[in-house]
Amino acid sequence: MNLNALFPSNLVGSILTAVVIALVTWLVYTISKGMINRMVEHKLKNQDENNARFNTLSSLLKSIAGYVLFFVALVMILGEFGVNTSAIIASAGIIGLAIGFGAQGLVSDIVTGFFILTENQVNVGEYVTIGGYSGVVEETGLRLMKVRGVSGDLHFIPNREISSLTNHSRGNMQALVDIRIAYDSDVNQAIQILQKRCDELREQLPQLVEGPNVLGVQDLGSSDVVIRILARTENGEQWAVERELRKELKLALEQADFESPFPHQAILLQKK
């Protein structure tokens, strides 16, 4: 059977066919809009804050569906009136590819952004490192992320630029301090003094989750011996703990009369 058979093969019939095509297209468009709404709602039901973003997503999808359906219906109606449509389709294809290349980045942004959001990789307010920029997330968007750097700068990072991503706000952090003593000092005694002070600090600093412990001799420098101390703290407290450890452990060694680990040099005086 052929749709054309419904109507007499003349101008009136062609117009009738065109009207049918237009009606069906309008019907399909209405259904598509409903489906898009439901689909977007479904994916986002537990992300209340993202309303604005996904309104954008849903209206973007609807626009695309509308333009595509309009083009298909137009070509079919023109064909109904005997127009040779191959030139139109070819032109549309080339323009479509051109726009496609240009919009490729946009598609890539949206796809990547979608996964970052639904996989809960970052939340607003977390401290992250993304695409070489570190800072606190201010806004996560469909197309880009706004990250406030520590210095106050505002970074705009298109989602496509984000490959691997580091989130610094999940779980306890490590505090690591290297204490140097003079090369000729008594290493065993230094370790004892440091460990004793570490044990006292554990009581005084409530942010400490684990340690601090003296690991041992990390490096034999050219004029000093490096002793490493490690602790684990609550998230965000690692820098404060490190600063406190540095000050207190240095004082502990000073009180025990350890020599300062200045660079040493042996000099041979030669006569000219």
Instruction: Report the site for a second copy in 70-89 (rule: CB under 8 A).
Output: 71-72, 75-76, 79-89
| DSSP H or E segment with residue 105 | helix 86-118
Candidate residues 60, 110, 136, 256; the one interacting with a second copy per rule CB under 8 A: 110
- Shortest CB 127 distance to a second copy, Å: 10
| DSSP H or E segment with residue 61 | helix 51-80
Secondary structure of residue 211 in the 3-state scheme: strand
Please give the Cα distance from 253 to 216 (Å, whole number).
Answer: 15
- Asked if residues 59 and 7 have their Cβ atoms less than 8 Å apart, the reply is no
Nearer to a second copy, 44 or 224 (CB): 224
93 binding a second copy? (CB under 8 A): yes
157 binding a second copy? (CB under 8 A): yes
- Shortest CB 187 distance to a second copy, Å: 6
Nearer to a second copy, 44 or 181 (CB): 181
Nearer to a second copy, 195 or 218 (CB): 218
Residues in 185-244 that interact with a second copy by CB under 8 A:
187-188, 215-220, 222-223, 225, 228, 232, 235, 238-240, 243-244
Secondary structure of residue 196 in the 3-state scheme: helix
Residues in 123-152 that interact with a second copy by CB under 8 A:
129, 131-133, 143-144, 148-152
Please give the Cα distance from 135 to 155 (Å, whole number).
Answer: 9
Candidate residues 19, 23, 35, 97; the one interacting with a second copy per rule CB under 8 A: 97
Which residue carries 């449509």 as its tokens? Answer: 85
* Both tokens assigned to 88: 């139109």
269 binding a second copy? (CB under 8 A): yes
The phi and psi torsions of 206 (rounded to 5 degrees) equal -75, -15
